[in-house]
Structures are given as C-alpha cells and as structure tokens.
C-alpha cells in the first residue's frame, strides 16, 4: 500500500486515504506556487490560486488525482471556513453603530434577493442566483466557496462555481482600482469612502487595499465594514441551508452543516476571549491556505472546455449584482453618513 502511490497495484476502494495523496500533492504544489506569486507580485492569493488551478486543468482527466482533488475542494474548504470565524468579533460589528450596521444588513440582503430575481429572469435557478448574490454581497470567492459547499454539487456544478470565482476575482480587482477614483470624483469624506469600499468590494484584500489607498482613516473604516460583511456569512449560510431545497425532491435541509456551526463557534470564542496573536495569526494563515487550496482544486476540477463557451449571461449577472451593490453603498453613504 505504501508503494501504491498512483493506484497501479490496488483498487481505489482498498487504498483508503492513500488514494488522496496524488491529488493533494498536486493541489499543495499549485497552492505554494500561488503563494509565491502573491508574495513577489502583490496579487491576491485567491486570484493566483484560481489562475494556477486553471493552468493545471489538463490534469483533471487523470483519474488517479480525482480523490485528492475532491477532498481538497470539499473537506479542506470546510475546515478553512471554520477558521475564517476567528477573523471577526461581535465587538467589531457593534462598534459601527446601529445606523451603519442596519445599512450593511440592508445592502447585503437586498443584493442577494434581487440577484436571485435577476438570475431567474436570465434563465438560471435560485441556487446559482444565491451563489452569485452571496459572493457579491458578502466576501467574494470565500463566500462563493462556502455557499457552493452548503448547496452541494447537485445544485451548484463545478462549472458554475468556476464561473463565479473567475467573475468575482476579475470584478473585485477592477473595483479596487476604480472605486477610490470614483470616491475622489464624488468628494466623499473618509467615513463615506471607507463605508463604500467596505460595503461594496467583494474580497477582503481588495476592499482594504482600496480603502487604504484613499486614506488611512478610510482604510480602517473599510476594514470594520468589510469584516462585518464577512461575519454575515454564517447567518447567510444558515438561511441557505434551511430554506433552499436540495435535490430533485425539493426536500428542505433541517440541520446546519457542521462547518457553519464551527464558524459560529470560532466567532464566539474570538469575541469572548482574547486569543493570543500567535494563535490568531497562525489560524488566519491556515484559513487562507486551506481556502486557496480549495480554490486551486476547484479550478483543476472545473470543465474548462465548457467554461470557454458559457456565453454572456453569467458574467452579466455578476456585473449587475456588483453595480447594484455599489449603487446602494454610495446612496447609503451620501444620504446617511455625513
């Protein structure tokens, strides 16, 4: 069994965990390559993991890698989601004040709801609408991965997830560049600009990058607002798990997935006790690594040939959701935050 690394000696069902090793090795090397590119060129880790995974997509035809790729795209993802809970505290959310918190809740809820409606008009089902809306409204690729794990592969295919990841990464990178310019044109205050960057840009890194490029104060406000959106991931996952039907029979899920419960517990622990910086830093690094590995595996597994002929509807849905989130964030900042 120790020598049967590539499945040439024993059937897959007799090899157990060893069947995962080849795929996990590929995912690990791809994720390390993405980390190298991030460290040397300053690009977002999620985006680099996605691009490296797509470059390795030709390996998806090798059945020896299937078990490890599936394990990485599911189990590693869910473990990473649990650790993401250590990034936020309830005190950070309450520090915004009731008005800003209400505005964030409204923007997130309306973005998801209207995106689902638009998705239906464009011919998609509710599940893909929830995936696209949640990714735009909450925290980009991390939310897309978490929602896909909650909905299951029967509702969200690898193709749909890859479309969402590619679109979200491109739109988030574009927003990081354009939104600070727009804020300067509109002469927004530091409070208003920080709120807009934190409430409308998809991924955490790009949101904070845009905020700090405007001003130090705007960056701090963007960080709090963005982390508040990240904290909403758990209740959104809970709502999706309980109210969106799964499977052909339309059965509703009555119990929360274990990783959603774990997310709640980690956020609660981080809120009630002062976690040492060494532990919290290690947990954040591990969460980023696990999520990046899951993105790499998902990109390798994705049916790239189908991705090249998807047509304009999916990117249009993500673009409309992004513009809607930006519009509501600007209106909220200008009208309510002086």
* pLDDT over 90 at 115, yes or no: yes
Residue 183 lies in a domain: yes
Q: Is residue 12 part of a domain?
A: no
13 part of a folded domain: no
3 within a domain of the structure (yes/no): no
Using the 8-state DSSP alphabet, how is residue 224 labeled?
A: H
Lowest mean pLDDT among 82-91, 105-114, 179-188, 246-255: 246-255
Q: Is the pTM of this model over 0.75?
A: no
Is residue 189 very low, low, confident or very high in pLDDT (cuts 50, 70, 90)? very high
Place of tokens 């969402």: 164
According to the model, what pLDDT value does residue 108 have? 94
* CA separation for the pair 95, 165 (Å, rounded): 31
Please say if the pLDDT value at position 5 is more than 60. Answer: no
Is the pLDDT at 13 greater than 50? The verdict is: no
Look at residue 10 and tell me if it is in a domain: no
- Residue recorded with tokens 């959104």: 236
Q: Of 9-23, 38-52, 112-126, 223-237, where does mean pLDDT reach its minimum?
A: 9-23
Cβ-count burial of 310 within 10 angstroms (0-12 exposed, 13-18 middle, 19+ buried)?
Answer: middle
Q: How far apart are CA 22 and CA 27, in angstroms?
A: 9
- Decide if 297 is inside a domain: yes
Residue 207 placed within a domain: yes
> Is residue 157, in this structure, part of any structural domain at all?
yes
Cα 227 to Cα 220: distance, rounded to the nearest angstrom = 11
Give the pLDDT band (50/70/90) at residue 249: very low
Q: How many domains does the chain have?
A: 1
Domain enclosing residue 317, as ranges: 19-336
């Amino acid at each position: 069994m120790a020598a049967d690394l590539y499945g040439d000696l024993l059937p897959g069902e007799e090899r157990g965990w060893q069947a995962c090793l080849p795929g996990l090795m590929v995912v690990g090397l791809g994720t390390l390559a993405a980390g190298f590119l991030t460290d040397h060129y300053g690009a977002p880790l999620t985006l680099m993991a996605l691009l490296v995974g797509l470059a390795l997509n030709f390996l998806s035809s090798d059945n020896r890698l299937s078990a490890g790729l599936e394990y990485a795209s599911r189990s590693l993802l869910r473990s990473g989601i649990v650790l993401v809970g250590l990034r936020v505290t309830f005190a950070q959310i309450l520090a915004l004040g009731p008005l800003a918190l209400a505005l964030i809740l409204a923007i997130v809820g309306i973005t998801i709801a209207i995106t689902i409606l638009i998705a239906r008009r464009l011919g998609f089902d509710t599940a893909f609408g929830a995936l696209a809306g949640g990714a735009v409204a909450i925290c980009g690729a991390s939310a897309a991965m978490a929602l896909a794990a909650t909905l299951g592969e029967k509702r969200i295919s690898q193709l749909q997830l890859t479309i969402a990841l590619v679109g979200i990464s491109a739109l988030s990178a574009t927003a990081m560049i354009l939104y600070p310019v727009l804020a300067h044109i509109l002469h927004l205050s530091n409070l208003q600009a920080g709120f807009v960057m934190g409430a409308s840009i998809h991924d955490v890194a790009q949101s904070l990058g845009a905020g700090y490029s405007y001003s130090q104060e705007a960056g701090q406000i963007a960080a709090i607002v963005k982390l508040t959106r990240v904290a909403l991931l758990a209740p959104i996952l809970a709502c999706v798990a309980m109210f969106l039907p799964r499977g052909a029979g339309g059965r509703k899920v009555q119990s929360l997935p274990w990783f959603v419960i774990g997310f709640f517990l980690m956020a609660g622990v981080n809120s009630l006790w002062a976690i040492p910086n060494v532990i919290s830093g290690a947990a954040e690094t591990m969460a980023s690594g696990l999520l990046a590995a899951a993105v790499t595996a998902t990109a390798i597994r994705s049916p790239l040939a189908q991705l090249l002929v998807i047509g304009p509807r999916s990117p249009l849905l993500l673009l409309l959701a992004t513009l809607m989130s930006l519009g509501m964030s600007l209106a909220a900042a200008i009208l309510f935050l002086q």
